[in-house]
Chain A
Amino acid sequence: MLDLNEMILPKDNLTPLLRKLAKDARLIAPIKNSYGDTLFTVIDDIDKAAIDLENQPQASLKPYLLPQQETLATYRNTEGGYIFAEADEEPESIYFGVRSCDLTAVLYTDLVFSRPVKDSSYFKRRNKSLLITIGCNHPFSNCFCEASNSGPYLEYGYDLQFIDLGDAYFVSAGRRKGLDLLEKWLYFFRAVTDSDREKRYQLQLEVRGKFTQNIQVSQVCQLLQDHEVDDSIWRKLSGRCYDCGGCAYVCPTCTCFSVDDAAIDENHGLRLRSWDACTSSGFTRMTGGHNPVDRRTDALKRRFLHKLKYDYAEHGKPSCTGCGRCVDICFGGVDITTFISLAAKGETV
């Protein structure tokens, strides 16, 4: 019997398949723009889109699932008081070319927005998304997903996972939605052979040796469970943090936000949610001016400990997925890899 969970898609069939998918849903994939930047972009015309699976998309899926600024609700002021209306519905979306780190981040974000109650604004987008990942045969220079246990290939969580075998993709279905898609478009695929499997395992073995970042993520997560990091490390890192929020904005698992009301006119307005960052002093400052976080010493403490200590304690896994984006974005050179390296040197007490 044919095992529909694993199929082979010849590369020549990729564009025809995507063309079909784009008819039923909004198709979003990494596209290289005219400035040479690769970003997840909505595809209008599959024949004109330069899908780029060679480079890491500069942003994760976060701008789609948790937009930089979104309208939670609109309000109008009537004589009977304020009336709130939920924002518009979202279209069904298929995301193609998602990296393993970013998929892992989506799974984490699902948890964040599930508790204590489901965040309707997040899940109205999430529930209408189908995620097709691409395994990384060639990790990028700042990546360390293997160390953070979130790549380069995935065991679960994806709807479909593509692995590039050279002339074809090894496609696995991980969830019902993915399996349905395979079934629907079966004629684009062929069955998996032993040699395909062999190729896949070989790739999986080889990729492990290709990471250039040597980062002791799990060791540091362990260490943090019962050791305090020396104050001098926090002091040094905080002194070089410029509070730009870049790390939080590019981070696929950073979910800090703030909510503001913006008036359109006297009687109408929007309730907006926008990205925020725990590294900003205004994020924790109280109305009276007191700030429980001293920026000069503790600016980055919350950020790093949340990802590596508290989430590890709760989920057995850090919420840093090793995508490496914060490494390039950090203005002061104090990204999470700097912290992990310092902490791993044993500068803890």
Chain B
Amino acid sequence: MTNSIGELQGADVLLVTGSNTTETHPQIARNILEGVDRGAKLIVIDPRKTELARQAHVHLALRPGTDIALVNGIMRSIIDENLADDLFISMRTEQYEKLRDYLFRLNLDEIAAITGIGLSTIRKAAKIYARSSNAVICYCLGVTQHTCGTDNVQAVANLAMLTGNIEKAYGGVDPLRGQNNVQGACDMAALPAVLPGYQGLDNIDARRRFQQVWNCDIPQTPGLSLTEMTHSGAEGDIRAMYIMGENPVLSDPHLKRVETTLKQLDFLAVSDIFLTETAALAHVVFPAASFAEKGGTITNSERRVQLCRKAIPPIGKCRADGHIIMELGRRLNCPGMDFTSNAEIMEEISLLTPIYGGMHYDRLEENWGLQWPCWNRDHPGTKFLHKHNFTRGKGQFTITRHREPAETVETKYPFTLVTGRGSYHHYHTATMTRNSRRLVREYPEALLEINEKDSRALQLQPGEPVEVHSRRGSVRVKTVVTDRVQPGTVFTSFHFWEVPINQLTVDAMDSRSKCPEFKVCSVNIKKVSHA
């Protein structure tokens, strides 16, 4: 997030796109709704009528996969209404003219047809967003999990720059991170192309420093992304994997390929707190400690690094992840794997990662955490990003063009399947939450959301199970009739191993981010025959 979470309450306009915030980020949703209570306008872009969409002043229920067309339409409307922030554009950005000329060539009626949203609604949203000088955009995986995910984000950035709604408190672009510490994992370079703190592999000085401290050679070329690894297949180069706290056998797209890959490995090690479907395939399983059994830091969506204390010692033979990694490292003769405390690890992070430069344990103990960038011991942390200038200098407008998802509906597969989290009762593949009896009682099984019109056409009884087929596989799942989904669209979650919905999803991914297109695939729905 360029902003802080608390700033959402003070914004005048909140544009939320591709985020079922009340169910996936309840605390952020609370800030958004309290902003609305104070008079802020809420615009929601989502194919589904989520709880937040129900409370929105404008809900843009677009056809799945048409985000770019919609944002382009909003930007064109803003320019038509003369609501662009010309001063901001001239002072802080570049290449605006190219984008403007492209937008002028767009046919707005075509955009209405592509997105399925009436022009007057698009214009209304454009006016509300652009007239405010304190507008934030929150986006989540509904924006990124597309073959055009990177362009979707660029389109959102264009929109914010066009109206000068960035570089300030109560105005910005706020990706809502998916897991409690995914921000921290990215910051620490659990990514194939960067060193900690987003220092590029082409940064010679940074590489030299890391090589010196880690006493090893650091490759100059990026490694592989997650899906590239789990989809590398039988003929792939990968012979061994170590998977920590992840369950790709349920969570990655096109599961058959994932299974093929994992089963042909010479060696698979998995560490997790429960024996997951992935761990069941492993040659070696490390029982890992839960959050309560280990200390460390967690970095949340607003870049806040918070200290997490060990509440109880690890139960049984389980060990903290850090302990497992260090023990592995020692056995592999990896130098420097002799940290005696978490604070010592943080000292190395502060030394090598400029944005964490001032994040020392003793400072984190005194408060609710510090937000990066925090350059040195005296730095108070950063509430919002890009004050006075962007990381690259001037913000660059880049034209983004609509293109259809990898799979579009056709006669054989007439429905669009959207996947995501189904409820706040379960988390991801439910490896943890299904071990809680109460949570299981509250949300016991997978449900396929289907519109009443489609349900009637298929002559379904309430709750009747159906078979959902895609080109890659099929699952059987109970249905629930709801107006949350539009006719022609169905939705379900990936929480339940009994309904491994990712057997159906496409393996197409964004060419740059390598993020798979979980949000769109074409399926057919059949009644289960009573034999």
Contact = CB atoms under 8 A, between A and B. Distances in A.
14 contacts: A239-B51, A239-B54, A239-B55, A240-B22, A240-B29, A240-B33, A243-B425, A243-B442, A281-B442, A282-B438, A282-B441, A282-B442, A331-B27, A332-B26
Nearest to B425: A243
Contacts of A260: 437
Nearest to B311: A35
A332 B21 CA distance: 12
A333 interface: yes
Contacts of A245: 438
B463 interface: yes
Interface string A268-306: 000000000000111000000100000000000000000
Given A35-B309, A239-B55, A242-B424, A333 B30 contact: yes
Contacts of A35: 309
Nearest to A35: B309
B27 A239 contact: no
B365 interface: no
B438 A280 contact: yes
Contacts of B441: 280, 282
A231 to B, nearest CB: 14
A158 B517 CA distance: 64
Given A243-B424, A332-B26, 18 more contacts: A35-B309, A239-B22, A239-B51, A239-B54, A240-B29, A240-B33, A242-B26, A242-B424, A243-B425, A243-B442, A245-B438, A280-B438, A281-B442, A282-B442, A289-B463, A331-B30, A332-B30, A333-B30
Interface in A236-257: 239-240, 242-243, 245
A333 B34 contact: yes
What 6 A-B pairs have minimum CB-CB distances, sorted nearest first? A282-B441, A282-B442, A242-B26, A333-B30, A332-B30, A239-B51
Nearest to B478: A289
A33 to B, nearest CB: 11
Contacts of B424: 242-243
Contacts of A280: 438, 441-442
A281 B442 CA distance: 6
Interface size band for A: 10 to 19
Contacts of A281: 442
Nearest to B423: A243
Interface string B110-138: 00000000000000000000000000000
A333 B29 CA distance: 11
B442 A240 contact: no
Interface of A: 35, 239-240, 242-243, 245, 260, 280-282, 289, 331-333
Contacts of A289: 463
A240 B30 contact: yes
Interface string B33-74: 110000000000000000100110000000000000000000
Contacts of A332: 26, 30
Contacts of B442: 243, 280-282
A163 B46 CA distance: 58
A260 B438 CA distance: 12
Contacts of B29: 240
B364 to A, nearest CB: 16
B375 to A, nearest CB: 30
A240 B36 CA distance: 13
Contacts of B51: 239
B21 to A, nearest CB: 12
Contacts of B54: 239
Contacts of B27: 331
A155 B134 CA distance: 54
Interface string B461-486: 00100000000000000000000000
Contacts of B437: 260
Contacts of A333: 30, 33-34
A6 to B, nearest CB: 44
B447 to A, nearest CB: 11
Interface string B424-465: 110000000000011001100000000000000000000100
Contacts of A242: 26, 424
A271 to B, nearest CB: 15
Contacts of B463: 289
A245 B463 CA distance: 27
Nearest to A296: B51
A339 to B, nearest CB: 14
A331 B425 CA distance: 14
A2 B460 CA distance: 82
Contacts of B22: 239-240
B410 to A, nearest CB: 35
A39 to B, nearest CB: 14
Nearest to B52: A239
Interface in B149-176: none
Interface in B1-50: 22, 26-27, 29-30, 33-34
B460 to A, nearest CB: 15
A282 B439 CA distance: 9
A153 B398 CA distance: 68
A240 B27 CA distance: 10
Nearest to B26: A242
Nearest to B441: A282
